[in-house]
């Protein structure tokens, strides 16, 4: 399910948005955070290269916060994670 590249995501408007990744029941919280962290790195790199990735690091941060909140509220099978970004 991981994005192969931002180019793939930009061309595929059906590609999952960060919030969809955050609420995907088939992924663990760790998998969601890993995907979102990699996506944020790609988006940040694209922005530094004056490219338009189609979403902002802020959108990804919101999705990461939602995953962490779900874990804290016991919505995930995983223990509360500390120190994840």
pLDDT of residue 36: 95
Q: What is the pLDDT of residues 56-68, one digit of tens each?
A: 999 999 999 999 9
Asked whether the predicted pLDDT for residue 79 surpasses 60, the reply is: no
pTM: 0.72
| Position 3 pLDDT exceeds 60 | no
pLDDT tens for each residue of 15-53 = 678 999 998 888 999 999 999 999 999 999 999 999 888
Residues 6 or more apart whose Cβ sits within 8 Å of residue 9: 3, 15, 53, 54
Taking the domains of the chain in order of start, what are their residue ranges?
Answer: 6-72
Of the candidates 30, 33, 42, the residue with the CA atom closest to the CA atom of residue 4 = 42
Report CA torsion sign: 15, 21, 25, 31. positive
């Amino acid at each position: 399910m991981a994005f192969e590249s931002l180019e793939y995501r930009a061309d595929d408007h059906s590609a999952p948005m960060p919030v969809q990744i955050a609420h995907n029941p088939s992924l663990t919280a760790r998998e969601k955070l890993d995907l979102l962290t990699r996506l944020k790195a790609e988006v940040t790199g694209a922005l530094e290269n004056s490219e338009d990735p189609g979403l902002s690091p802020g959108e990804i941060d919101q999705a990461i916060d939602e995953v962490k909140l779900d874990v804290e509220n016991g919505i995930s099978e995983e223990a509360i994670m500390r120190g994840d970004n």
